[in-house]
Amino acid sequence: MVEDKELRAEIGKHLMQPENYGKLEDASCVGVGIDHATKSYVIMYIKRDEESILDVMFGTNGTQDTTTLGSLLTEMIKGDTVENALETVGALEKDLQESYASLPKPKVDTSKPEGEQVEHISTEHQDSANMVLTAFRAAMRHYERKLGGIEEEQFELSISKMCPYSTTECHFVKKESKED
């Protein structure tokens, strides 16, 4: 009960006063996580050395959820070792996959026109977290690429998400033909 109350207070703090928001001018690596469906993105600026994340900032054109989650994650990893940050993000990605998978199966109404047959299930919260975590992964990849001699301003990754009711990708149910 106390932990839950403390967690809500921490989230509220980051909601009202986001930390680490803005551009980090001397970043060692810059990663962008993009949701092409909504044209939303998170850009993460990380200053790091071989061992540690020295500083981190982020920006977004996303929702307040995205800003709050970016603030929370950057505070979690700032000053930590790269190894611990990767473990933290890996655990959060596992939680995110479970969250996507636990979404209720949408209702299907084949009497509606194709494209409107599958009930919309909101994944806004999951997608916000996905963009933040993907931006971190993109920044780490940018750092690796720079070490390999590839010079680029930033590295971009698209978020990936699966429909919880599909083993492949989001899709619509084909409308049955009246001739069948």
Distance from C-alpha of 159 to C-alpha of 93, rounded to nearest angstrom? 12
Regarding beta strands 155-158 and 29-35, do their DSSP bridges make them parallel or antiparallel, or are they unpaired? parallel
Residue 109 located in a structural domain: no
Name the pLDDT band for 90 (thresholds 50, 70, 90). Answer: very high
Residue 11 located in a structural domain: yes
Six-digit token string for 49: 């050395």
Distance from C-alpha of 160 to C-alpha of 137, rounded to nearest angstrom? 13
Residue 94 domain boundaries = 2-104+120-158
Residue 70: pLDDT over 80: yes
Residue 98 located in a structural domain: yes
Residue 132: pLDDT over 50: yes
**pLDDT computed for residue 162 by the predictor:** 58
Residue 146 located in a structural domain: yes
Residue 178: pLDDT over 70: no
Distance from C-alpha of 10 to C-alpha of 75, rounded to nearest angstrom? 11
Q: How many CA atoms lie within 13 A of 163 on its CB side?
A: 15
- pLDDT, tens digit (0-9, with 9 covering 90-100), for 40-66: 999 999 999 999 999 999 999 988 999
Residue 138: pLDDT over 90: yes
Residue 170 located in a structural domain: no
**Which range (60-69, 76-85, 100-109) has the least confidence?**
100-109
- Looking at the structure of the chain, the number of domains it has is 1
52: helix, coil or strand?
Answer: strand
Residue 110 located in a structural domain: no
Residue 167 located in a structural domain: no
Task: Please state the pTM of the whole predicted model.
Answer: 0.80
What is the CATH classification number for the domain harbouring 14? 3.90.1010.10
Residue 173 located in a structural domain: no
The residues with which 58 forms a beta bridge, in sequence order, are 21, 44
Name the pLDDT band for 172 (thresholds 50, 70, 90). Answer: very low
